[in-house]
Amino acid sequence: MKRVLFVDDEPKVLDALRRLLHAMRQQWEMAFLAGGQEALDYLAQHPCDVVVTDMRMPGIDGSQLLRQVRQLYPATVRVVLSGQCDMETVLRSLGPAHQFLTKPCDSEMLKRTVARACQLRDRLADQKVQECVSRVEALPAEPETFALLQAELASSEPSLRRLGELIAFDPACTLLVLQLVNTGFFGTPRRVADPAQAVNLLGVETLRAVTSLEHLFFPLEQQHPQAAVCQEIWEHSRAVAALARKIAQAEGASPAVCCDAFAAGLLHDIGLLAAVWLPADDCSASLPWVLDWTAEEQSQQTTHGDVGAYLIALRGLPDELVDAVAYHHHPGRSESAGFSALTAVHVADALVRQAGFGMQLSDDPVDESYLRRIGLDHRLGQWRQLCLELSQEVLQ
């Protein structure tokens, strides 16, 4: 049974949570505690899958509590549930918290958030990798994109359209803004996959405040030993995102699915970026493959798709993006019964590699048995033509 800890210094809030979640007592073992120190004492004896805490509490506040949880119990999913939603409070929670909910919180939303967080532990079996990935506060941005974003935000009249274009050019920046919007750090949580829409919802001042936090928004150092590898990942991800969106549009998919295809394409190798970025001694035993997914399969260990899916699911991104990232090499393992963002990303990833532009990890085949299962194998030739057109655009 999953164990969930709720922490709030107001007895009435704890009583309300007990009533709201009474029906879940057969699924979760729950504890309700009145302070940060009590929570740490409890965790020392009862490790939890999820910790949900208020922010403003006497003694050890919510931010301090979650920082200690991250350090001591890194695999635990960390959620803020707070009625104090001023900018300073929210900014302090960024990093230690994976997700943010505001009081009063709809009971169904709270249940969904906690249930999804509990299920995350089952998605990634390797405890060591869970701990490594859960400790990650942010990933580095491409230096050129980082500089352009800073310049735009520093201008007298920043353009939201230009900011959206720049953020949609970088996986780490896209992950950050989608996390902020989908989990409600700045307002009611929304189901958003389009980085440009996320930028519009956040606004210039919020973006300025968030990007001023150096632990969340930073460029990769040019002297980093894996700088060249990261550059390949960025370029490959942009190519896959562009082609995935073209494929979705060619199939007459809805605007929402087209947005999902682009975002999932941009994020599909975020697990590779995380593996490269993590300190070498943290996960080297569990992630020896780093840049060869065929070696992942041969070793039967955690794949970069697993890592990426866990990373973005922790941050509350939509399930369609999580599944596309998780299964982009093996779509047949998904429950997809028709065209989806996963279809577009899988095909785009394989075709971009075969076309000879973007990152070259392997001669990655299209899973034609999967395409036959969903009745779209006859479309592969058209999708190859779209890839050819895209490659010609890139080379011009």
Give CATH 3.40.50.2300 domain extents, the chain.
Answer: 2-123
From CA 79, how far away is CA 96, in angstroms rounded? 9
More confident residue, 290 or 67: 67
Instruction: Name the band, by pLDDT with cuts 50, 70 and 90, for residue 47.
Output: very high
CATH assignment, 227-395: 1.10.3210.10
From CA 132, how far away is CA 274, in angstroms rounded? 10
Give the pLDDT of residue 217.
92
From CA 139, how far away is CA 217, in angstroms rounded? 8
- The answer to which of 34-43, 110-119, 350-359 has the lowest mean pLDDT is 350-359
Helix (H) or strand (E) holding 30: strand 28-33
From CA 237, how far away is CA 176, in angstroms rounded? 16
Identity at 190, one-letter amino acid code:
R
Two tokens, residue 282: 């943290």
- The answer to which of 96-105, 152-161, 370-379 has the lowest mean pLDDT is 96-105
Q: Can you tell me the mean pLDDT for 101-111?
A: 84
Instruction: Name the band, by pLDDT with cuts 50, 70 and 90, for residue 321.
Output: very high
Give the pLDDT of residue 128.
80
More confident residue, 361 or 64: 64
Give the pLDDT of residue 10.
93
Sheet of strand 77-82: strand arrangement: 28-33, 2-7, 50-53, 77-82, 99-102
Q: Is the pLDDT of residue 48 over 80?
A: yes
Q: Can you tell me the mean pLDDT for 6-34?
A: 94
Instruction: Name the band, by pLDDT with cuts 50, 70 and 90, for residue 294.
Output: low
Which phi and psi angles does 343 have, rounded to 5°?
Answer: -55, -50
- The answer to which of 82-91, 257-266, 309-318 has the lowest mean pLDDT is 82-91
Report the mean per-residue pLDDT for the chain.
88
Q: Which residues, listed in sequence order, are joined to residue 33 by a DSSP beta bridge?
A: 7
Residue whose C-alpha is closest to residue 99's, from 48, 51, 47, 149: 51
Task: Please enumerate in sequence order all residues whose Cβ is within 8 A of that of 284, keeping only pairs 6 or more positions apart, or say none.
Answer: none
The alpha carbons of the chain give a radius of gyration, in whole angstroms, of: 21
Q: Is the pLDDT of residue 9 over 90?
A: yes
- In terms of DSSP bridges, do strands 99-102 and 50-53 run parallel, antiparallel, or are they unpaired? unpaired
Give the pLDDT of residue 373.
95
Task: Please enumerate in sequence order all residues whose Cβ is within 8 A of that of 311, keeping only pairs 6 or more positions apart, or say none.
Answer: 133, 136, 175, 270, 271, 274
Q: Is the pLDDT of residue 101 over 70?
A: yes
Instruction: Name the band, by pLDDT with cuts 50, 70 and 90, for residue 325.
Output: very high
Q: Is the pLDDT of residue 190 over 60?
A: yes
Compute how many other C-beta atoms are within 10 angstroms of the C-beta atom of residue 190.
Answer: 12
More confident residue, 91 or 290: 91
Residue the block writes with tokens 């590898």: 229
pLDDT tens profile 267-292: 999 998 988 887 665 565 555 544 45
- The answer to which of 184-188, 319-323, 386-390 has the lowest mean pLDDT is 184-188
Is 10 within 8 Å of 54 (Cβ atoms)? yes
Q: Which residues, listed in sequence order, are joined to residue 141 by a DSSP beta bridge?
A: 219
From CA 55, how far away is CA 64, in angstroms rounded? 9
Give CATH 1.10.3210.10 domain extents, the chain.
Answer: 227-395
pLDDT above 70 coverage of the chain, percent: 91
- The answer to which of 61-65, 129-133, 344-348 has the lowest mean pLDDT is 129-133
Give the chain's end-to-end CA distance (angstroms, integer). Answer: 57
Give the pLDDT of residue 296.
57
CA neighbours within 13 Å on the CB side: how many for 193? Answer: 23
More confident residue, 35 or 86: 35
Helix (H, G, I), strand (E, B) or coil at 306: helix
Give the CATH fold of the 2-123 domain. Rossmann fold (3.40.50)
Angle between helix 227-250 and 255-267 (nearest 10) = 160
Q: Is the pLDDT of residue 84 over 70?
A: no
Give the pLDDT of residue 69.
96
